[in-house]
Amino acid sequence: MKQKLEEIKVQAKAALEAADSTQAVDEIRVKFLGKKGELTAILKQMGSLSPEERPVMGQLANEVRGEIEEAIAVSLKEMKAKAQTARLEKEAVDISISGKRKENGSLHPINSALEDLIDIFRSMGFDVVDGPEVETEYYNFEALNVPADHPARDMQDTFYLTDSMLLRTQTSATQIRTMESRKPPIRMIAPGRVYRSDDVDATHSPVFHQVEGLVVDKGITMCDLKGTLEQMAREIYGKDTKVKFRPSFFPFTEPSVEVDVSCSECGGKGCRVCKGSGWIEILGAGMVHPRVLAGCGIDPEVYSGFAFGIGLDRLTTTRHKISDIRLLFENDMRFLKQF
């Protein structure tokens, strides 16, 4: 039995020296020290020994077990050290190599212009309101005093999803929802994407951005509209910017105006950007039509209001002297890095 115990110790150590993985070491442990292992099998024969031999063989068996367990622990420690060394060598960083500079992101020019507008109007007491991009005909047209035979309701201008559901052509629909849910006084702007069936070119896109504004209160006049828009234009284009109001027509405002600003490229002298006129159109506006107020449950005999719609893409291109609106949507990093 003593000879067998010595053989088990020698075989176990030899096997551990040849082991090349922790899994192999674990298999050796099971083979020699497990419940059905070789050392256990020897210990089961202890009953056949004489009372004098049992304690001697038991002590020897424990010594063999201890040496094998110690050899296993050493083997595992060495393997872990080798694995860590290999991993560190693989993950080593050459600190002499120049690092790659990480570029900081920045706001898209449209978002930058939008944030500036929001700051400007919030400073004047306006709330920012959001509305759905999929609208009903009622909110997109009828509630805004656009009759069924109006050209804007033609299939060629509007993306219809069903007979009565469509992609909104203007964020003015949010004004109607706001007037229905709030009581005057109201001061709000509604930025968002809008959709029209336009061909893509340097000045048109089927998807573009608007910022609609609305004020409803007692005693609101055209002077309030004029002062608000002049302040906005000078904040965006500079304090020397001139603003011009031209009579126009919109079904939901009366009277209605188009608003121009002096060309920032030539200072109003005339150039290719403003097509020689010295002025650039930036938005449409007017006093809210009494019929629109009444349709939202607001008494036009008591309250009045003004509304305006800013083409955010147009404002961005004129502000930064961008000649082609398509550049705003192409995600060309050479273009975007300029901002």
CB 214 within 8 Å of CB 288: yes
What are the two backbone dihedrals, phi and then psi, of residue 99, each rounded to the nearest 5 degrees? -75, 165
What tens digit of pLDDT does each residue of 104-142 get? 888 899 999 999 999 999 999 999 999 999 999 999 999
The predicted model scores a pTM of 0.67
Virtual torsion, Cα 151, 273, 200, 338, nearest 10 deg: -140
Residue pointed to by tokens 């949507």: 329
Whether residue 156 has pLDDT greater than 70: no
Surface-to-core class of residue 176, CB atoms within 10 Å of its CB (0-12 exposed, 13-18 middle, 19+ buried):
buried
What tens digit of pLDDT does each residue of 165-222 get? 999 999 999 999 999 999 999 999 999 999 998 888 877 888 999 999 999 999 999 9
Banded pLDDT at 152 (limits 50, 70, 90): low
- Report the pLDDT averaged over residues 83-110: 82
CB 216 within 8 Å of CB 293: yes
Instruction: Quote the DSSP letter at residue 45.
Output: G
Banded pLDDT at 268 (limits 50, 70, 90): confident
Rounded Cα distance, 78 and 25, in Å: 12
- Report the pLDDT averaged over residues 311-325: 87
What tens digit of pLDDT does each residue of 218-242 get? 999 999 999 999 999 999 988 888 9
According to the model, what pLDDT value does residue 113 have?
93
What is the full DSSP assignment across 191-243? EEEEE-----SSS--SEEEEEEEEEEETT--HHHHHHHHHHHHHHHH-TT--E
Q: H-helix or E-strand containing 308? A: strand 304-311
Whether residue 289 has pLDDT greater than 80: yes
According to the model, what pLDDT value does residue 3 have?
76
- Report the pLDDT averaged over residues 259-275: 78
- Report the pLDDT averaged over residues 294-322: 92
Whether residue 34 has pLDDT greater than 70: yes
Banded pLDDT at 47 (limits 50, 70, 90): low
Fold classification of 109-336 (topology level): BirA Bifunctional Protein; domain 2 (3.30.930)
According to the model, what pLDDT value does residue 223 have?
96
The CA angle 259-306-242, to the nearest 5 degrees, is 25
According to the model, what pLDDT value does residue 188 have?
96
